[in-house]
Amino acid sequence: MSHGIECNEFGNVALKTGYVVGKRYVVMSRLGEGGCGTVYKVFDLKTNKKLALKAEANCIEGGSVLKLEAQILRKLIGKPQFPQMKWAGKREKFSYVVMTLLGDSLSYLLRLHGSKINSISTQIRLGVQLLHALKTLHDIGVVHRDIKPGNLAMGHPDSPESMHTLYVLDFGLAREFMLQTNGRWEFRRRRNDCLFRGTSRYCSLNVHEKGDQCRADDLWSMMYMLAEMRRALPWRKLQEKADVQRCKINTTDAVLFMNSPSKLSRITSHLRTLGYYNRPDYGLIYEVFLEIMKEEKIKMDELYDWEDYVQQRDAAHKKRQKLPSKKSQAAQSAEPVHSPGEGIRKQASQTSLKSAEPVNPSAEATNDPTLVTAAKSRSDEKGVGEEEINILETQDDPESWGDFPADDFYTNPTGL
C-alpha cells in the first residue's frame, strides 16, 4: 500500500482526505462506492473548482471497467445532460476519471419529501428530460443498460444554469450497439443468450430473457421508473429474478399506470413493437409527454417536488455548523486573505514531499474548499516525477473497443 492509497480486489480505491492526485486534484471527501469503483469530491488546483473523481484499482479482475466508461464519456464531451470528462489518468495502483461534479442522485431526491407519491408534474418533466438524454446517448450508438434513479442526478445546486437539469451517469454497464466507420453506421450483430446486465426492478422482459439489449430496453427502464414515481411497482418486494419476470409478464399497463396518466400506455405499446434493430419513435414518446403536460397544465419551469426540502436541509446544515471562536476569528483577521487554490498551491510548494502526509480535516472541512488548505501536498505513487498516463491511450484491456471481427457487424440501411 502506498501512503494515502488502499485498493481491494473489487476495484474500490480508498484515498485519504488531502491526498493529491496527479499533482492537481485534492481529495476532499468520498461521495460513494459501488461495483465499478469509488467516487470522490476533489478540488482542482488549477481552476479552483470542485469536481468529481472516480477511481478504480488496476488489480480488478476481468479488465478495466473505468476505461470503457471513459471512452463513452469522451464521445459525450459537449453533450448536455452528461457529466463532462476533464481528464482520464492511470497510475501504478489505480486509474481515475475526473468529471463534472453533480448534485444529489434522483434516488435520494425522490425520497426526500417523505412521500412515496410524486406529483405528475415532476414525473412527466423528468420523463421529458430523460427521453432527451437517452436519445442523445443512442444517437452515438450506445445503450446504457442500467437506467434507474440511482444512476441519474440533478445538476449541482451551486450551478443555477444546470441545477434543474437531469443528468445520466455511471456507464460501467453501457455497450456500443453501433459503430461508425468511414461515415457509415453499422450495427453490432445481435447476440443470443446474453449475461444479465442491469437492475431487475427496472430492466425489460427482454433482459430477463437474456436478449441482447437495445434502445428500447433503456426506454422500458425509463417507463418503469416513471410508473414507480406514482405507485410502487407490483414486483417491488420480490427478490428472485424469475419471480420479478413472472410478475412483469402478468402486470398489464392498466395496473402499471394505475396512478399515472393513462396516456403513458401508448408509449409501452409502442415499445412492444420494437426489436434490436428498430429505432424507437422518440417523437411519438415526446408528443405523449407534451399532451399530458397540456392536459395537466404543467410548465417546465415549475419547482420539482424535492426543492423546498433541499432548501430546508441546506439551511439546517448551515445552522448546525459551529461558528468560529473569537480567538480563531482574531487569528483569521490577522492573516491576508487568499483564494482557496492559492493557499493550496502555496503549501504544496513549501511542503517537503518526503515528509508530507495527508491530513484528515473534519466532516465540515471536507465540504468547504477554503479548508482544504490544511491538506498537505504529496507525491502520487512513486513521486511527482512519475509520468502520468492517459487511460484512453492504454491497450491493456481484454477487449479493445472498436476492434471487432468483421462478422460482428450488420449493416443498417436506415442508420440510427
SS3 133: helix
Q: What are the percentages of helix, strand and coil residues in the chain, rounded to 5?
A: 35, 15, 50
Retrieve residue 341's grid coordinates.
487554490
Phi, psi dihedrals of residue 274, rounded to the nearest 5°: -95, 140
In terms of residues, how long is the chain?
416
C-beta of residue 190 within 8 angstroms of C-beta of residue 136: no
Retrieve residue 298's grid coordinates.
404543467
In angstroms, rounded to a whole number, what is the distance separating the alpha carbons of residues 114 and 339?
A: 39
Nearest to 167 by CA among 182, 183, 150: 150
In angstroms, rounded to a whole number, what is the distance separating the alpha carbons of residues 193 and 324?
A: 62
Contacts of 104 (CB under 8 A, 6+ apart): 112, 153, 154, 310
CA dihedral 225, 231, 237, 243 (to 10 degrees): -70
Q: Which residues are annotated as catalytic?
A: 146
Contacts of 97 (CB under 8 A, 6+ apart): 53, 54, 66, 69, 70, 73, 85, 87, 88, 391
* Bridge partners for 85 per DSSP: 99
C-beta of residue 162 within 8 angstroms of C-beta of residue 109: no
In angstroms, rounded to a whole number, what is the distance separating the alpha carbons of residues 16 and 29?
A: 8
Give the number of C-alpha atoms closer than 13 A to the C-alpha of residue 139, restricted to the C-beta side. 10
